[in-house]
Amino acid sequence: MNLTIIGTGYVGLVSGTCFAEMGNTVTCIDIDEKKIENLKKGIIPIYEPGLEEMVARNVKNKTLHFDTQLASLKKCDIAFIAVGTPMGEDGSADLQFVLQVARSIGQNMVNRLIIVDKSTVPVGTADKVKAVIQEELDKRKVSIEFHVVSNPEFLKEGDAINDFMKPDRVVIGVDSDYSKEQMSILYSSFFRTKDRLITMDIRSAEMTKYVANAMLATKISFMNEIANICELSGADVNQVRIGIGSDSRIGYSFIYPGSGYGGSCFPKDVKALKKTAEDHGYNAKLISAVELVNDKQKFVISKKVIHRFGEDLTGLTFAVWGLAFKPETDDMREAPSIYTIKELVKRGAKINAYDPKAMDEAKHFYLKGMKGVTYCASKYDTLKDADAMILLTEWKEFRSPDFEKLKVQLNTPVVFDGRNQYSSLRMENRGFEYYQIGKK
């Protein structure tokens, strides 16, 4: 098929590249000329394992193209809208970019076309997209058949290529047999059994994305709430997690205590779902609680540091391992590291930080211009003159460090573990003063 992907952010670039990998002819469109020129040169704007190699391969095979114009619509079968939906001040999703793209499609389409909302959008967005496109066609005084489809993405940052190529499910919201048939054909190469292709009405598909992320966020906040109760009551949340995770109805996924969730999806989607409820006159108390617990959880580690070293941290240096909100990505949006570092710095502390991928993001955006923060070339370089180590992202290289080296190089053998990566008993036997989530 001939596909046009409008938007070369995380979702658009991964989707377009994976579709091209399966033999489709894909053109990715973006108004950012510099980004498009870089993509043509093989310079990828995000870090995602395997993406750079896959882009280069498909550009070489001429199945993947990049452009700033919508000329590809002339031969296009399906156009995907994959632009950002930033969070508004009231928590709602801002649809201005989605509707701008819809307007451009209406102005440029010439043949029967399926338009797919790939962006995460509120319930009812497809109706707005359809109305805008029809408005532009009416202005042109032309009659062209088109169908709007909802096809939410369920990609995990750090494992997006695998998620797209081997999906658990593909959700498609349709209102016509033609769009259902064409979308089924498009995705048929990604799985052999049709039970992974789930078709439903458009509004239900739009809602599914928000509900999926809110459910996962709920599990995280629930477990963090339990961790805080365990710490106060003397129970060990790590043992509790094993005890409940063995129940097949619960499982082990997303029940690891930590410093709260971050990233581009969970915070934004939880707020948007809460706003959707408010717009329909419903007070979503559970969803509100999920957000409240998470907001507080991001300060748990900084509070432990302050409790141990005091309110005035002047003259103290802390080694921070991990800046990204999760491993295998450079994404720092809403990362717990931002909150922890800011709390310590404003009390006079200095920070030696290291992350395998996210340090440029920290330098140029999230911690830009922050005094007292030094970026180091390795995890061990952060230990120089440091009074304690703080682990905030569970990168693989942090799982089994040289603990003797860690102990010797720190001024005091103190470790704050915001992801519960280490065994408290083993750390204490090694001579560390060890603090983690959910255990005194």
DSSP letter string, 279-324: HTT---HHHHHHHHHHHHHTTHHHHHHHHHH-S--TT-EEEEE--S
Q: Which residue is catalytic, options 28, 76, 265, 376?
A: 265
Distance CA 202, CA 124 (A): 8
Cα–Cα distance, 429 to 425 (Å, whole number): 6
Question: Would the CA dihedral through 405, 440, 338, 265 be positive or negative?
Answer: positive
The greatest distance separating any two alpha carbons of the chain, rounded to the nearest whole angstrom, comes to: 78
The DSSP element (H or E) to which 421 belongs, if any, is none
Measured distance CA(118)–CA(29) in Å, rounded: 14
SS3 label, residue 81: strand
Amino acid present at 156: K
Contact 274, 291 (CB under 8 A): yes
Is there a catalytic annotation at residue 28?
no
Strand blocks (E) in 19-99: 25-29, 64-67, 78-81
The answer for residues whose C-beta is within 8 angstroms of residue 371's C-beta and 6 or more apart is: 345
Q: Which residues are the active-site residues?
A: 265
